[in-house]
Amino acid sequence: MSTPASRTGEQATTHTPVALIAFAWTLVGVPLAYGLYNTIKAASALFG
């Protein structure tokens, strides 16, 4: 899913560490999963 930027001009290139991307997604993904779990648990009462 990585899409590196195309090289333009004479600027130095960079490399985004995969670990940083994974950390960033985990940081937002874990709370979201927590919220989803709790909401699905609450919504399950509708079908209980």
Partner 1 sequence: MAVPAFLARDRIVAKPGFNRWLIPPAALAVHLCIGQAYATSVYKTALVEHFDASLTAIGIIFSIAIVMLGLSAAVFGTWVDKNGPRAAMFTSAVFWVSGFLVGSLGIYTNQLWLLYLGYGFLGGIGLGIGYISPVSTLIKWFPDRPGLATGMAIMGFGGGALIASPLSRQLMNWYDANYDPAVAGTVPSGNAVAGLFLTLGLIYLVFMMFGAFIVRVPAANWRPDGFDPSTVKAKSLVTTENVSANNAIKTPQFWLLWTVLFCNVTAGIGILEQAAPMIQDFFREGDTSTVLAATAAGFVGLLSLFNMAGRFVWSSTSDYIGRKPIYMVYLGVGIILYVILATLGSTATWIFVLTAAIIISFYGGGFATVPAYLRDLFGTYQVGAIHGRLLTAWAAAGIVGPLIINGVLDARGTPGQLVAGDYRPALFIMVGLLAVGFVANLLIKPVAEKWWEPKQTDIPTTAAEPERSTVR
Question: What residue ranges bind partner 1 (CB under 8 A)?
Answer: 1-9, 11-16, 20-21, 24-25, 27-28, 31-32, 34-36, 38-40, 42-48
Q: Which residues contact 12 (CB under 8 A, 6 or more apart)?
A: none
Q: Which residues contact 10 (CB under 8 A, 6 or more apart)?
A: none
Enter the tokens of residue 39: 């909401």
| Shortest distance (Å) from residue 19 CB to partner 1 | 11
| Shortest distance (Å) from residue 21 CB to partner 1 | 5
| Shortest distance (Å) from residue 9 CB to partner 1 | 8
